[in-house]
Chains A and B, each alone.
Chain A
Amino acid sequence: MDPLKRFRALAAPLALALLALAAAAAVLATGPLGVSPEQLITALFGHGPPEAELALSLRGPRLLAAMTCGAALAGAGAGFQILFRNPLASPDLLGVTSGAGFGAALALLLGAGALLTQGAAFAGGLATGAVAIACAALTRSGDGRLALILCGIVAGALASAGLGLVIIVAEPYSQLPSITYWLLGSFTRATAGEALLALAPVGLGSAVLLWLGFRLDVLSLGDEQARSLGLPAAPLRLLALAAAALMTSSAVAIAGIVGWIGLLAPHAARRLVGDRAERLIPSAMAMGALFALLLDRLSTAFGPAELPVGLLSAAVGAPAFLALFIATSRRV
C-alpha cells in the first residue's frame, strides 16, 4: 500500500473524531449563548465564566446525547454491514428499533416517567434482538445469516404490531402526542445523567466491536471460511450481534427513533478508509457522532419550534445516501 493510502487509513478515524469534537465546540460557540473554546475548556474544569457554565449545563447533555447516539447507531450499522456483507444492513436489522419503540410506547401508556421509559425502550430493544437471534438459532439454513435477517424482520414486525396496538389504545389527547413525539426522535430530552448512563452500554458495545476487529472481517467471509480459518464462528457472531443490539437499544432509549445515521455514516466512512473492520468501525462511529451533531444543530435552525431529529435525519439522510451511492458507483 502506498504511504498516502496507509496514512489516510490510519489517520482518518482520529481526524474524524477530532472533527466531531471541533464541531461540538463550534455548536456551543454559535448558539445564542456564544461561548469561546477557551471559556468552554475552563468551564469544563469547573471555573469558567457563568455563561460558559450555563451553556455547558444546558447544551452539554444534549450534545453528549447526540454524539453518543450517532456513534452508537453508526458503529452498530457498520458492524451489521460487515457481518452480513450487506450494504443495506442498518442498526434495526434485528428489529431492535421497533422493539425499543414498543417498549417506550408501552411505558408511556402506563404512565411511566422519563427514566423508566428509557429503561423500557432499552429492554424492549434487547428483548426483540434476543427473540430474533433465538428464532434464527432454531432454523438450520446453512450460513445462518439469511435466517437472522428473516427472523429480525419477523421480530420487528411483531414489535410494530404491538406498537400499533399501544397507539390505538392510548388516550388521544394526552398520551398519544407524547408517544408520537417520542417515536419521532429527539436529543433534547436527555438529562446529563441519562446521557452519561447511556455511555456505559454504548462504550461496552463499541469496545467489543473494536476488539472483534479483524475477526469481523473473517466472519464476513461466512461461517465455513471462519471455521476453517480456526475461529469459533457462532460464538463470535453472537458476541458481535449482542454488542450491536446493545448499542442500538441504548441509542434508541435516549433519542427515540433516529434513522439513516446508522446506514449513511458507515457508507461515508467506507469511502474514506475502505472495508476493513478495524478501520471502518471507529471511522463510522466518529462520522455518526458528527452527523448527529449537525442534524441536532439543524433541528434548532428553523425558529423556536424545533423539528424532531428523526424527521430531519430522514429528510437529509435519504438524499445524502442517494448522492453518496451515485458518487461511489460512478467512481468504479
Chain B
Amino acid sequence: MSALVLDGLVAGRRSRTGAGFRLPPLDMTASPGEVIALIGPNGAGKTTLLKTLAGLIPPLAGRIDGPASAAYLPPPGAVSAAFSALHLTALGRAGLRRWSPGLTPDDVEAARAALSRLDVLDLADRPFDRLSSGQQQLVLIARMFVQAAPVCLLDEPLAMLDPAHAQAVEAAVRPLAAEGRIVLASTHHLPFAARADRILAIGPDWIEVKTPAYALGADRIRALFGVETTGCPCCGQTPGFRP
C-alpha cells in the first residue's frame, strides 16, 4: 500500500459571498500503518479536513496523492439503519461488489469475522438502530476491517462513549493500522491522542504535524485551546493522578 502525500492541501468551504472558511496549507506524508490523531478546538476545521481527505469535499488548493479510496466514519450516532448490524458490516464490501448482483456469502463471513474480532458478534442479528452508541461505533469499525480502504478517517470516534466502549474502540484502532492502513482520527480525548504515532494540530491560523510529546506540551495546548494544563504531555494525565 502506498503512502498518503498531502502537498500544500488547503481544506475549507467556499461560499459565494467569499466569506468561506479555509485552513492553512498542509504538507504531510502519512505512511501505511501509521495512526495520526487530529486535534484542535471546536470549529477549527477537523471535520472539514477529514471530509476533504475522504473526497467528500473538494480541496480549495493543493493535491492529495496516494490511495484512491478512503473510508470516512462520522461521529457516533450519525449513522442510522434499520437492518441488522451484520448486514451493515457486510455492506463494507459494497465498493468491491459495485456492479455484482449481490453481496456474496464470503462477504457475510468476513463481516462475521470482523464482528467477532471486536468481540461484538453477539450483536450481529440486532437491528443497528437499537444498539447503543458505543456498540454502533464498534460495529462501524468492524465494517472498516471488512472494507478494503487503505485510508481510514475517523471523526471523533470516542465522542459520547463510556470508558469501556472508548477503550474497546481505541483498542480496535491500532490493529486497523497494523494491517497496513493509514488511520487519521480526530479527537478531544488527549490521552488517546497521546498514544498516536503523530499529532496533527489545527490552530486558529496554523496547522502542524508533530510528535505527541511536542504537540501535547503545555505551551502547545495553551496555543491550541487557550487553557493551562499541568498534565503529562505523553499520557495527558495530571501528575499525581493514580488510576
Q: Which residue of B has the minimal Cβ distance to A1?
A: B125
With A211-B101, A228-B70 in contact, is A221–B82 under 8 Å at CB?
Answer: no
B 96-135 contacts with A by CB, 8 A: 96-98, 101-103, 124-125, 127
Complex contact B92–A229 (CB within 8 A): yes
Given contacts A85-B80, A221-B81, A276-B83, contact A227 B56 (CB under 8 A): yes
CB-nearest residue of chain A relative to B125? Answer: A1
Interface size class of B (residues with CB under 8 A): 20 to 34
What chain B residues lie within 8 Å of A215 (beta carbons)?
94, 98
Q: Is the CB of A224 within 8 A of B74?
A: yes
CA distance A211 to B99 in the complex (A): 9
> How many chain A residues touch the partner (CB < 8 A)?
26
Evaluate contact between A217 and B83: CB separation under 8 angstroms: yes
State the CA gap A224–B102 with chains docked (Å). Answer: 21
Cβ–Cβ contact A221 & B149, under 8 A: no
Q: Say whether B83 contacts A230, CB under 8 Å.
A: no
- From B54, B86, B95, B101, contact of A231 by CB (8 A): B95
- Contact status of A217 and B149, CB under 8 A, knowing A85-B80, A228-B71: no
Asked if B103 contacts A230 (CB within 8 A), the reply is: no
Q: Check: A139 CB closer than 8 A to any chain B CB.
A: no
Out of B79, B80, B95, B101, name the residue touching A230 (CB < 8 Å). B95
What residues on B are CB-neighbors of A230 within 8 Å? 69, 94-96, 98, 147, 149
Q: Residue of B at shortest CB range from A224?
A: B56
CA–CA, A276 and B125, complex, Å:
13
On chain A, the residues within 8 Å of B73 by CB distance are 228
Q: A275 vs B70: C-alpha distance in the bound complex, in angstroms?
A: 27
Interface residues of A in 168-227 (CB under 8 A from B): 211, 213-215, 217-218, 220-222, 224-227
Option from A2, A211, A214, A222 in Cβ contact (under 8 Å) with B94? A214
In the assembled complex, the CB of B154 is this many whole angstroms from the nearest CB of chain A, namely 11
B46 in the interface (beta carbon within 8 A): no
In the complex, chain B residues whose CB is within 8 Å of the CB of A278: 102
Contact of A229 among B55, B80, B91, B102 (CB under 8 A): B91
Given the interface pairs A276-B87, A278-B102, the reply to whether A227 lies near B55 with Cβ below 8 Å is yes
Contact with A along B55-96 (1 / 0, CB 8 A): 110000000000001111110000111111011000110111
Q: B39 CB to closest chain A CB, in angstroms?
A: 22
A37 within 8 Å of B by Cβ?
A: no
Tell whether, in the assembled complex, residue B83 and residue A275 are in contact, meaning their CB atoms are under 8 Å apart: yes
Jot down 22 A-B pairs with beta carbons below 8 A, ordered by A.
A1-B124, A5-B125, A213-B101, A214-B94, A214-B102, A218-B94, A225-B79, A226-B94, A227-B54, A228-B70, A228-B72, A229-B71, A229-B91, A229-B92, A229-B147, A230-B69, A230-B98, A231-B98, A232-B98, A275-B81, A276-B83, A276-B87
Chain A positions near chain B (C-beta within 8 angstroms) = 1-2, 5, 85, 211, 213-215, 217-218, 220-222, 224-232, 274-276, 278
6 nearest A-B residue pairs (beta carbon): A230-B95, A275-B82, A228-B72, A275-B83, A229-B94, A218-B94
Known pairs A222-B79, A224-B56, A231-B98; list 4 more (Cβ under 8 Å): A85-B80, A228-B71, A229-B147, A276-B83
